[in-house]
Structures are given as C-alpha cells and as structure tokens.
C-alpha cells in the first residue's frame, strides 16, 4: 500500500524546510500538523489540504491544493510575514523527493493575513499547488 500523496508531500516539505538554516534559526522544528497544547508562537502549521484527481488517459495523478499557516504573537505582522515569505521562497518550485509519489510541480499561489484574539495573534496563510503522480523521482 502506497503512502497518501498528502502525507508524502507533507513529510517531504518538513524535511526540506528543516534542512534550511534560516528556517530553523527562527522556528527550530516548530512545523506541525497541530500545535502542541500551550505551544508559544512563532510556529508553522500544515493546515487545509485538498486532493483532486489529475489523471490522464495514460497515467494516474493527483493535484494538491494546500495551506501552511504561520502564527506569531509579535506586534504587527512583520514577523509572521517574514517567516511566511521565507517558506514561500523555499517551497516555490522546490525539488522535493516524495515516498511512493513523484513531484511534478510545486507552486506558491497566494498569501493571506489575519489577526485573532483581539489582534494579539498574527496569522499568515500560504496557499500552494502541487501535482503528484504515483511513482518515484
């Protein structure tokens, strides 16, 4: 049984981002599916994911639309925006290796900011699109 393309992509993204010294200098290993209870920002989260069939007559494939959210409690949005931009720059067209799948394309699509808890928490959501047929690189 092959790994889910969503899980395979998330694992590859985690490995790739944690290998970047600039990312880990600020966030360490704080890239989660769900933040541990009581975790203080800044941190990044894998958020929503949508998987759609991207098959053709000759081959199977999947298109993934997914979100990575950055959370910060620094005043203003600058910390969250800087972290989000680093993630966007690193992942846009990144050469990731996925288990049981092949990454054809990974693109940054958009960035959205918001404030929660009466403006105390800044959030930046990054949207990406990936195409991942089964197979190896």
Q: Read off the pLDDT of residues 34-85 as tens digits, 9 standing for 90 and up.
A: 988 988 899 999 999 999 987 666 667 789 999 999 999 887 788 999 999 9
Q: What's the number of domains the chain is made of?
A: 1
Query: 90 lies in which domain range?
Result: 5-66+73-131
User: 137 in a domain, yes or no?
Assistant: no
Query: Burial level of 96, CB count in 10 A (0-12/13-18/19+)?
Result: buried
Window from 10-14, 20-24, 84-88, 120-124 with minimum mean pLDDT: 120-124
pTM over 0.95: no
User: 35 in a domain, yes or no?
Assistant: yes
Kindly provide the b/e burial profile for residues 102-134, where b requires at least 16 CB atoms within 10 angstroms of the residue's own CB: bbeebebeeeeeeeeeeeeebbbbbbbebbbbb
User: 136 in a domain, yes or no?
Assistant: no
Q: Residue 117 pLDDT more than 70?
A: no
């Amino acid at each position: 049984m092959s790994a889910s393309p969503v899980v395979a992509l998330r694992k590859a993204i985690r490995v790739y981002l944690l290998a970047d010294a600039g990312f880990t200098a600020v966030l360490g290993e704080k890239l989660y599916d769900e933040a541990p209870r009581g975790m203080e920002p800044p941190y990044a989260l894998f958020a929503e994911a949508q998987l759609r069939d991207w098959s053709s007559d000759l081959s199977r494939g999947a298109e993934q639309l997914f979100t990575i959210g950055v959370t910060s409690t620094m005043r203003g949005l600058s910390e969250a925006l800087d972290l989000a931009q680093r993630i966007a720059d690193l992942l846009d067209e990144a050469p990731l290796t996925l288990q049981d799948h092949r990454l054809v394309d990974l693109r940054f699509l958009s960035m959205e900011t918001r404030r929660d808890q009466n403006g105390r928490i800044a959030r930046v959501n990054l949207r990406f699109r990936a195409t991942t047929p089964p197979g190896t690189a």
